[in-house]
Amino acid sequence: MVAKWLRQVNHNALFLLCAFPILPVHWVSLSAAILGLSGLALLIFSRDWRFNKSFFLLISGIVWVYMIWLVFSNDVTAGLRSVQVKLLLVIVPLVFSFSQLRLFAKQQHLAFAIFSISAALLVVATNLQIAFRGFTHPIGVNGADFTFSYRIALEQYSSLHPTYYCAIVYTAAIISLYALFHKQLKERWQLVLAIGIVILCSFGGVMAASRATFLAYIIVVVCMIVQQFYYHPKRWYILSLVLIAGILLFLTPTVQNRLKEMNTSNMEAPKGNNDNGTNVRSGIMACDMELLKQYWLVGVGTGNVQQALNNCLSQFDTHVYKQFDYNTHNEYLNAWITCGLFGFMIFVGCLLVSFVLALKQRNWPHLYFLLFMGICFMTENYLNRQMGVTLFAVMQTLFFFKTLRQ
């Protein structure tokens, strides 16, 4: 009786954690704490300590490297803060690496459903606030266009950077789209709900206009279509609809404005007050490569990257790098610059082994998620912020259950 109650508490804590797109940050921390403590209590009560090391290390591996590289830190506070943000990559897989705490298909599907619905609710809530409360930075002020004003308002009302917001909503759309393509939904209300999630989350992502996540989403959707194309009886009908939808997406004002930034002049680092989302990244990439040349073997140490990057960015004649702290905007380079070649190999190795295992077991949703995040990691440090870590830790853990069951 006690074991059953503890297991239910443990599962409910996971379900609450899966609603993280619409939860305050302290609720995410609380649900993670309940998840860990209830799991520990159940293990003590059952005395079943069987543990899957491979499952645990594949998800948490990079965090251990960051912990070890604290010994090279010149700023221990910053180093510990960097590790602390990533702790969910240890806690979530640690709990479910114990055989006694493993999830079954029913709980896994419910967890995905809660996440997807939460992502759709995030889109609705954020856009309703923008519609009724207006832009926090009006169009036309300091040259702001619709895209800039929309993204600023989105970040203000959702408390999420547009890039992380897009990663969350596109992941939910991918999960629902896969379920629709593979006829996993038997009830009519489930079909309607999944279609609604795909439409809402796709709309939310396009409006937020994060270019890398949009590209990653398009690539994943194309892969899904290719997988289904040759044996689906209505393949030409589906392809036509997707092409029309793709053209309409590219014609939206937010996407058009973001694409206009990507011209030759914006491929150089900003000068003076002439900065935007594209040329700012050019300067960051130049400094990333400069730091990589200097520290490619052993890295700068956990907690030292930001100062090293700030020192490099100070060479550019612009105010933007002095006003804000910019990270490396590339998860692969961040691991390499921080922890050297060894850290880079561990991080990439964990992703590649996960990909190979999912491919071997034909766990297509897991493959699509890894492909999506693998592309997104090229332009953003998702594991430097709580929401990015939560997304990756929870999704990796849930997707791995199917891979391991097979």
Query: Could you report the per-residue pLDDT of 32-58, keeping only the tens digit for each?
Result: 999 999 999 999 998 889 998 988 999
Query: Average pLDDT, stretch 21-40?
Result: 94
Q: What one-letter code names the amino acid at 251?
A: L
Nearest to 64 by CA among 242, 250, 302: 302
pTM summary value: 0.92
Other C-beta atoms lying within 10 Å of the C-beta of residue 262: 13
In contact, 258 and 147? CB cutoff 8 Å? yes
Last residue of a domain, one of 260, 282, 301: 260
Phi, psi angle pair for 103, to nearest 5°: -90, 155
Q: Is residue 192 part of a domain?
A: yes
Q: Is residue 35 part of a domain?
A: no
- Cα 91 to Cα 35: distance, rounded to the nearest angstrom: 9
- Cα 354 to Cα 140: distance, rounded to the nearest angstrom: 47
pLDDT above 60 for 235: no
- Cα 4 to Cα 15: distance, rounded to the nearest angstrom: 16
Cα–Cα distance list, 338 to 71, 306, 341 (Å): 12, 10, 9
Mean pLDDT of the chain: 88
Last residue of a domain, one of 225, 260, 295: 260
Q: pLDDT band at 209, cuts 50/70/90?
A: confident
Q: Provide the 3-class DSSP secondary structure of residue 318.
A: strand
pLDDT above 90 for 384: yes
pLDDT above 60 for 107: yes
pLDDT above 80 for 275: no
- Cα 365 to Cα 257: distance, rounded to the nearest angstrom: 32
**Are residues 276 and 330 located together in one domain of the fold?**
yes
Q: Is residue 33 part of a domain?
A: no
Q: Is residue 12 part of a domain?
A: no
Q: What one-letter code names the amino acid at 9?
A: V
**Are residues 113 and 134 located together in one domain of the fold?**
yes
**Are residues 138 and 237 located together in one domain of the fold?**
yes
- Lowest mean pLDDT segment, chosen from 9-23, 70-84, 116-130, 133-147: 133-147
Query: Average pLDDT, stretch 188-209?
Result: 92
Percent above pLDDT 70 for the chain: 87
- Lowest mean pLDDT segment, chosen from 156-165, 270-279, 319-328, 353-362: 270-279
Query: Average pLDDT, stretch 325-354?
Result: 96
In contact, 331 and 388? CB cutoff 8 Å? no
Percent above pLDDT 90 for the chain: 64
In contact, 127 and 120? CB cutoff 8 Å? no
**Are residues 191 and 215 located together in one domain of the fold?**
yes
Q: Is residue 4 part of a domain?
A: no
Q: Which of 228-242, 310-324, 326-340 has the highest mean pLDDT?
A: 326-340
State how many domains the chain has.
Answer: 2
**Are residues 157 and 283 located together in one domain of the fold?**
no
Q: Provide the 3-class DSSP secondary structure of residue 365.
A: helix
Q: Residue 247 belongs to what domain range?
A: 104-260
Q: Provide the 3-class DSSP secondary structure of residue 95.
A: helix
pLDDT at 246: 64
In contact, 47 and 84? CB cutoff 8 Å? no
**Are residues 249 and 315 located together in one domain of the fold?**
no
Query: Average pLDDT, stretch 66-84?
Result: 94
- Cα 67 to Cα 365: distance, rounded to the nearest angstrom: 31
Query: Average pLDDT, stretch 69-77?
Result: 93
Task: Report which of residues 254 and 344 the model is more confident about.
Answer: 344
In contact, 170 and 216? CB cutoff 8 Å? yes
pLDDT above 60 for 403: no
Q: Is residue 42 part of a domain?
A: no
Query: Average pLDDT, stretch 17-31?
Result: 95
Last residue of a domain, one of 235, 260, 285: 260
pLDDT above 70 for 314: yes
